[in-house]
A and B are shown apart, each in its own frame.
Chain A
Amino acid sequence: MTTLLSAQGISKHFGGVNALNLCSLDVEKGSITGLIGPNGSGKTTLFNVITGYVKPDTGTVTFDGRDITNARPDKVFALGVGRTFQLTRIFGRITVLENMLVATQREESWLRGLTRSMSSKSELDAAMEWLDFVGIARLAKVPAGSLSYGQRKLLELAYVLVADPDVILLDEPAGGVNLTLINVISEKIRALNKEGKTFLIVEHNMEFVMNLCDAVTVMHQGTNLVSGSPTEVRNNPLVLDAYLGGGEEEDATEEVANG
């Protein structure tokens, strides 16, 4: 296996806060990699650095052998790195189908947009196909703002997929979603992974992560603490310490061990 996406020695300070402190992460090609850690450990900031939304103070990000540190988000996306947001972000006042069309091209000159219609036949087909894949094709003509929270999560996944990225970063895909939908999402991720898509997933739902991921990296206080298979990570005492602050709270330890 080769490394597709790699972040090395990333640091980022916001004022006096060290959001990331020499954090490193590797994502193998064709894997589903999990990224877990307590709230505030820097997972989302790392996502923002990788996708170009935040410029790191130090460190490098490489994708498929290319240095993409400090590249703008549209550039990163054009190269093949798609992402979703923790708080789903869709375009509320245009239809679900139009949402899909926004993302259908990855690399196209901005002037081209002036002279072409909103969609080509093949783009429409692809958009409908992916909407069908996530199961919301019947809502294609509805304004996206009227979708429920779960449907928005599915739409966000679908419009990242429509541009056919090589690696997809999912920020809490199971957050605030009911159990049935969690299973649907996890099934979709597995199906896409079989077709060769690489995933990097931030998630708090341990069951979701442990069932789905080939490799897991645990973050703590802005740095990568442990990396390994789900079993290795689960049994690592450092991880429990990170989540529970040194095992002082016995009750909470039990809760995590059971759940």
Chain B
Amino acid sequence: MLKKKVNLLWLVAFAIALFVPNIITNPAYRQIAVITLIFTACATSWNMFSGYSGYVALGSAAFYGTGAYTMALVALHLHVHAGGDMFWLVPVGGIAAMLVAIPVGLIALRVRRHTFVVITIAIFFVFQLAAINFGFTGGTGGLTLPYIPWMIQNYHVPFYYVALAMLVFAIALSASVRRSRFGLQLLAIRDDEDRALGLGVKVFPVKLTGFAMSAFTIGMGGALYAMMQGQIYPQFVFDPIFDISIALMAFFGGFGTLLGPILGGLVLESSQQYLTVSYSNGSLYLILFGVLFLLVVLFMPQGIVVFIRDWWAKRQDRLAAANEAVGVQGGHS
């Protein structure tokens, strides 16, 4: 019964999402919608590894940037026809990010907790420096992608649907991982890695696979972003704020839950973009975010989803207890 209701909610949300470009017609706001979907997909994918396994990675922008540069470089060098054909390069960006994630994981996943966090940050900066300093990446000037000659009014609509498909993919993957034996092994690693090893879980291959899988969607996100913007700079696609943003989205909504990063991504990224566009003040959102996070950390440290779930469970318990009390008073329990 509850299961059916939950499925229905997903369907309703999806149906609404399909009509967003009809409701929002201003190109600036449509762009916000696309970026929000991209970030939400990335946060969901990030949470699929970091949330389930407890390995908080703060270098995911390395994969985002890899996806973006793959899109740009392949489109430029293979002379891909500017337009819808370039969407085929989005999964290519994902695969490139995954291939990059394997050696990164081989190094970073040997250490745990705080050391892992620091190592991922360090590796991220290596990528950013490489993008700034190598010749083929265009240095600080970045790269200009083939110009897509679409009408500005509806320019963002195709991007919106591809980003939506990407988000659906990320959610479906995260949900199926959660239900698989592989997902259970990630959760076991989060709770006690050494114990899991002693129960036959091949922890290193499991961690590496999860890490590479999560890089795939993040790389696709970077590729799609690059294609939409038409111009990329190393400091914007290899952006430390990206690392922190997607982690914060997951923590805000509920770290390690399926719904948490979706909620966090939709709320935080859309409000951030909206504030930036409306007030043309790039740092106002940072102050508001700071306040918001203080509140979440103080009052719902496990994130909004877990907070509401616990509150609901307690309410149900109270109601059940009250009903029982009434039943006893009435003499028929």
Q: Are A118 and B191 in contact (CB under 8 A)?
A: no
Cβ-defined partner of A101 (8 Å) among B184, B191, B205 = B184
Using A117-B179, A118-B183 as known contacts, say yes or no to A73 and B188 having CB atoms under 8 A apart.
no
Q: Are A107 and B181 in contact (CB under 8 A)?
A: no
Which chain A residues border B209 with CB–CB below 8 Å? 110-111, 114
A208 at the interface (CB under 8 A from B): no
Which chain A residues border B202 with CB–CB below 8 Å? 74, 110
* Interface window among B8-16, B90-98, B193-201, B223-231: B193-201
Cβ-defined partner of B184 (8 Å) among A85, A94, A110, A115 = A94
Which chain A residue shows the least CB distance to B205?
Answer: A110
Q: Are B201 and A102 in contact (CB under 8 A)?
A: yes
CA distance A110 to B201 in the complex (A): 8
Which chain A residues border B272 with CB–CB below 8 Å? none
Which chain A residues border B183 with CB–CB below 8 Å? 118
Q: Are B200 and A90 in contact (CB under 8 A)?
A: no
CA distance A91 to B189 in the complex (A): 9
Interface of B is mostly: helix
Q: Are B203 and A91 in contact (CB under 8 A)?
A: no
CA distance A98 to B199 in the complex (A): 13
B192 at the interface (CB under 8 A from A): yes
A182 at the interface (CB under 8 A from B): no
The smallest beta-carbon distance between A145 and chain B, in angstroms, is: 8
Give the size of the chain A interface in residues (CB under 8 angstroms): 36
Q: Are A91 and B187 in contact (CB under 8 A)?
A: yes
Using A110-B202, A114-B209 as known contacts, say yes or no to A102 and B197 having CB atoms under 8 A apart.
no
Interface bits A45-78 vs B (CB < 8 Å: 1, else 0): 0000001010000000000000000001110011
Which chain A residue shows the least CB distance to B196?
Answer: A102
B45 at the interface (CB under 8 A from A): no
CA distance A107 to B203 in the complex (A): 13
With A110-B185, A114-B177 given, name 20 new contacts (CB 8 A).
A72-B197, A74-B201, A77-B199, A77-B200, A89-B194, A90-B191, A91-B187, A91-B191, A91-B195, A102-B185, A102-B196, A103-B200, A110-B209, A112-B181, A113-B206, A114-B182, A114-B209, A115-B180, A117-B180, A119-B181
